[in-house]
Amino acid sequence: RIVRVNGNDVFNSDPAHVSTMIKGIKEDPVVLDVTRGGSGSLSSRGGDGDYSPHAACPYYVSQMLSKDAEIVFAPYNYVLDPAIRDAMGIELANTVVVLDEAHNVETVLRDAGSGRFGE
Protein backbone atom coordinates (compact mmCIF):
# COMPACT_ATOMS: atom_id res chain seq x y z
CA ARG A 1 0.00 0.00 0.00
CA ILE A 2 1.08 3.58 -0.61
CA VAL A 3 1.72 5.34 2.71
CA ARG A 4 3.03 8.74 1.59
CA VAL A 5 3.30 10.69 -1.67
CA ASN A 6 6.15 13.25 -1.57
CA GLY A 7 5.90 13.21 2.23
CA ASN A 8 2.11 13.72 2.34
CA ASP A 9 0.22 11.07 4.33
CA VAL A 10 -2.15 9.00 2.17
CA PHE A 11 -2.26 6.02 4.55
CA ASN A 12 -6.05 5.60 4.44
CA SER A 13 -6.71 7.28 1.10
CA ASP A 14 -8.49 5.45 -1.68
CA PRO A 15 -6.74 4.78 -5.02
CA ALA A 16 -8.68 7.50 -6.89
CA HIS A 17 -7.54 10.17 -4.40
CA VAL A 18 -3.91 9.03 -4.57
CA SER A 19 -4.04 8.90 -8.38
CA THR A 20 -5.40 12.45 -8.54
CA MET A 21 -2.75 13.61 -6.07
CA ILE A 22 0.07 12.08 -8.16
CA LYS A 23 -1.29 13.62 -11.37
CA GLY A 24 -1.24 17.05 -9.72
CA ILE A 25 2.43 16.92 -8.72
CA LYS A 26 4.54 19.23 -10.90
CA GLU A 27 8.01 18.68 -9.43
CA ASP A 28 10.31 15.72 -10.04
CA PRO A 29 10.77 13.19 -8.67
CA VAL A 30 7.51 11.81 -7.33
CA VAL A 31 8.45 9.81 -4.23
CA LEU A 32 6.13 7.07 -3.00
CA ASP A 33 6.63 5.51 0.43
CA VAL A 34 5.21 2.03 -0.02
CA THR A 35 4.67 -0.76 2.50
CA ARG A 36 3.93 -4.39 1.83
CA GLY A 37 1.43 -4.41 4.69
CA GLY A 38 1.53 -7.10 7.33
CA SER A 39 4.97 -8.34 8.26
CA GLY A 40 7.95 -7.06 6.31
CA SER A 41 6.82 -3.44 6.37
CA LEU A 42 9.07 -1.00 4.53
CA SER A 43 7.79 1.82 6.71
CA SER A 44 7.19 2.44 10.40
CA ARG A 45 3.44 2.32 9.62
CA GLY A 46 1.56 -0.53 8.05
CA GLY A 47 2.49 -3.41 10.33
CA ASP A 48 0.25 -6.37 11.16
CA GLY A 49 -3.34 -5.36 11.86
CA ASP A 50 -2.95 -1.92 10.26
CA TYR A 51 -4.17 -2.87 6.79
CA SER A 52 -7.15 -0.92 5.47
CA PRO A 53 -9.11 -2.27 2.48
CA HIS A 54 -9.60 1.36 1.46
CA ALA A 55 -5.85 2.03 1.21
CA ALA A 56 -4.23 2.76 -2.13
CA CYS A 57 -2.54 -0.27 -3.62
CA PRO A 58 0.30 0.61 -6.04
CA TYR A 59 -1.12 -1.85 -8.60
CA TYR A 60 -4.54 -0.16 -8.75
CA VAL A 61 -3.07 3.33 -8.68
CA SER A 62 -0.78 2.42 -11.61
CA GLN A 63 -3.81 1.11 -13.52
CA MET A 64 -5.57 4.45 -13.02
CA LEU A 65 -2.50 6.48 -13.95
CA SER A 66 -1.84 4.45 -17.12
CA LYS A 67 -5.17 5.58 -18.60
CA ASP A 68 -3.80 9.15 -19.04
CA ALA A 69 -0.14 8.26 -19.61
CA GLU A 70 1.68 9.05 -22.82
CA ILE A 71 4.14 6.19 -22.29
CA VAL A 72 3.42 2.90 -20.52
CA PHE A 73 6.02 0.19 -19.91
CA ALA A 74 4.69 -3.35 -19.54
CA PRO A 75 5.71 -6.93 -20.19
CA TYR A 76 4.94 -7.60 -23.83
CA ASN A 77 2.72 -10.58 -23.10
CA TYR A 78 0.24 -7.96 -21.79
CA VAL A 79 0.03 -6.61 -25.34
CA LEU A 80 0.44 -9.80 -27.36
CA ASP A 81 -1.78 -12.21 -25.42
CA PRO A 82 -5.44 -11.40 -26.26
CA ALA A 83 -6.73 -12.87 -22.98
CA ILE A 84 -4.40 -10.71 -20.87
CA ARG A 85 -5.03 -7.66 -23.09
CA ASP A 86 -8.79 -8.03 -22.66
CA ALA A 87 -8.52 -8.66 -18.91
CA MET A 88 -6.33 -5.56 -18.48
CA GLY A 89 -8.52 -3.39 -20.74
CA ILE A 90 -5.61 -2.57 -23.05
CA GLU A 91 -6.71 -0.85 -26.28
CA LEU A 92 -4.20 -0.74 -29.11
CA ALA A 93 -6.06 1.57 -31.51
CA ASN A 94 -3.91 4.60 -32.44
CA THR A 95 -1.03 3.20 -30.39
CA VAL A 96 2.64 2.74 -31.15
CA VAL A 97 4.00 -0.49 -29.64
CA VAL A 98 7.76 -0.92 -29.23
CA LEU A 99 8.98 -4.42 -28.36
CA ASP A 100 12.32 -4.88 -26.62
CA GLU A 101 13.86 -8.36 -26.76
CA ALA A 102 11.64 -9.14 -29.77
CA HIS A 103 13.41 -12.45 -30.34
CA ASN A 104 11.17 -13.82 -27.55
CA VAL A 105 7.92 -12.77 -29.27
CA GLU A 106 7.48 -16.08 -31.12
CA THR A 107 7.56 -18.04 -27.87
CA VAL A 108 5.14 -15.65 -26.15
CA LEU A 109 2.70 -15.90 -29.06
CA ARG A 110 3.00 -19.68 -29.17
CA ASP A 111 2.28 -19.87 -25.44
CA ALA A 112 -0.70 -17.51 -25.79
CA GLY A 113 -2.17 -19.68 -28.56
CA SER A 114 -1.55 -22.99 -26.81
CA GLY A 115 -3.47 -24.78 -24.13
CA ARG A 116 -3.30 -27.86 -21.99
CA PHE A 117 -6.18 -30.22 -22.07
CA GLY A 118 -6.84 -33.15 -19.76
CA GLU A 119 -8.99 -36.18 -20.25
Beta bridge partners of 5: 8, 32
The residue-averaged pLDDT of 4-26 equals 89
Beta bridge partners of 8: 5
Reported confidence tier of residue 50, pLDDT bands at 50, 70, 90: low
Q: What is the pTM of this model?
A: 0.56
Assess whether pLDDT exceeds 50 at residue 104.
yes
* Triad 96, 99, 103: Cα angle to 5°: 150
The residue-averaged pLDDT of 38-46 equals 43
